[in-house]
């Protein structure tokens, strides 16, 4: 949303204003005020005009302007009703030089998980990809994936859903039928020498989706805690993520607090074979530390399966 339009909106949210008063307050013409009010109405904001002036009556349920309104994080939102993959679009934007843009979609028709696996993304979920240009050495980039998992876990808990994290980047809910995946994260990046050039953090949260819309191994915020306001979910995830990304020392402690993996016997599939052991810690920048029969093993990437909690042995 352009800056003047955002200021018009903020003023109307603050209380009723006449057209001339608004024009004076913002230093623009009355015709410009009218143009912005009409554009906001077209974007779904209900702006009532009583005898006194204009006032904001309601905010659209979802979409770019809705998420930008009241967002306490520095992103512009590019919204699509339907798109192939928000990560693909975000990569395009990143290559064109974009920064602090979030590609958000109601539905994705060709979304991807890691290793090009399929990701189901019907209308009703929260599908978004952040385009970032952080001042980070390339080797620190995994921290951003952990930060995204922490942000989603925190927001799921705010919605009353007891989410936990499985190393490295799955957000799960432990249900009577076992662990079910609530959110997946796909981070892609390009770097020059030891500096990150751009990072795309793709976050897929099963928000308002029913059991028959997602895989059997998955769950949703709606199933676990009831329907959510997706506008607020997106805003809160972006706000929490931004706070963590600005304070990278806080990421690992927060991740450990939410981690289901720590304290479990796990099997991790790695390119060099399976490793079995007790997950004892996660170290900078996201390395899993396992206590195995052959000593301590550190793993930077792999597929992790929880076998059982250590105390149940």
Which residues contact ligand BT5 by CB under 6 A? 85-87, 108, 111-115, 117-121, 127, 129, 181, 184-186, 202-204, 206, 214-215, 217-218
Nearer to ligand BT5, 86 or 242 (CB): 86
Residue 107 Cβ, how far from ligand BT5 at the closest point, in Å?
Answer: 11
- What is each CA distance from 289 to 187, 270, 271, 282, 292, in whole angstroms? 21, 13, 16, 6, 10
Residue 304 Cβ, how far from ligand BT5 at the closest point, in Å?
Answer: 10
63 closest CA partner among 47, 44, 85, 39: 44
Nearer to ligand BT5, 22 or 103 (CB): 103
Residue 105 Cβ, how far from ligand BT5 at the closest point, in Å?
Answer: 8
Nearer to ligand BT5, 10 or 301 (CB): 301
User: What letters, b where the CB count within 10 A reaches 16 and e where it falls short, cover 59-84?
Assistant: bbebbbbbbbbebebebbbbbbeebe
Residue 219 Cβ, how far from ligand BT5 at the closest point, in Å?
Answer: 8
Nearer to ligand BT5, 64 or 184 (CB): 184
Furthest C-alpha separation in the chain:
79
In the 8-state DSSP scheme, what is residue 105? E
Long-range contacts of 286-292 (CB under 8 A, 24+ apart): 286/142, 286/143, 286/145, 286/146, 286/168, 288/167, 288/168, 288/261, 290/266
Nearer to ligand BT5, 17 or 166 (CB): 166
Residue 5 Cβ, how far from ligand BT5 at the closest point, in Å?
Answer: 27
Nearer to ligand BT5, 8 or 201 (CB): 201
302 closest CA partner among 269, 267, 262: 269
- What is each CA distance from 122 to 77, 221, 229, in whole angstroms? 20, 14, 17
Residue 191 Cβ, how far from ligand BT5 at the closest point, in Å?
Answer: 20
């Amino acid at each position: 949303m352009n800056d003047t339009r955002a200021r018009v909106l903020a003023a109307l949210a603050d209380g009723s204003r006449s057209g001339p008063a608004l024009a004076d307050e913002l230093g623009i013409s009355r015709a410009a005020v009218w143009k912005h009010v009409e554009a906001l109405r077209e974007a779904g904001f209900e702006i009532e005009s009583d005898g006194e002036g204009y006032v904001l009556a309601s905010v659209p349920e979802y979409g770019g302007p809705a998420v930008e309104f009241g967002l306490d994080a520095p992103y512009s939102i590019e919204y699509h009703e339907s798109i192939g993959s928000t990560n693909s679009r975000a990569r395009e934007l990143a290559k064109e030089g974009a920064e602090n843009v979030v590609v958000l979609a109601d539905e994705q028709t060709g979304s991807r998980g890691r290793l090009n696996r399929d990701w189901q993304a019907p209308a009703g979920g929260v599908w978004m990809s952040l385009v970032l240009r952080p001042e980070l050495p390339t080797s620190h980039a995994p921290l951003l994936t952990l930060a995204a998992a922490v942000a989603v876990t925190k927001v799921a808990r705010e919605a009353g859903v007891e989410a936990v994290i499985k190393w490295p980047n799955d957000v799960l809910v432990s249900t009577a039928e076992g662990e079910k995946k609530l959110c997946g994260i796909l981070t892609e990046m390009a770097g020059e020498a030891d500096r990150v050039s751009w990072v795309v953090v793709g976050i897929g949260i099963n928000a308002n989706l029913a059991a028959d819309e997602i895989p059997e191994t998955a769950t949703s915020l709606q199933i676990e805690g009831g329907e959510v306001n997706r506008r607020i979910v997106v805003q809160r995830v972006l706000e929490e993520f931004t706070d963590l990304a600005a304070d990278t020392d806080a990421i690992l402690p927060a991740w450990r607090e939410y981690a289901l993996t720590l304290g479990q016997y796990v099997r991790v599939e790695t390119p060099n074979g399976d490793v079995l052991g007790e997950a004892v810690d996660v170290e900078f920048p996201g390395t899993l530390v396992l206590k195995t029969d052959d000593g301590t093993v550190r793993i930077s990437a792999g597929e992790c399966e929880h076998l059982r909690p250590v105390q149940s042995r």
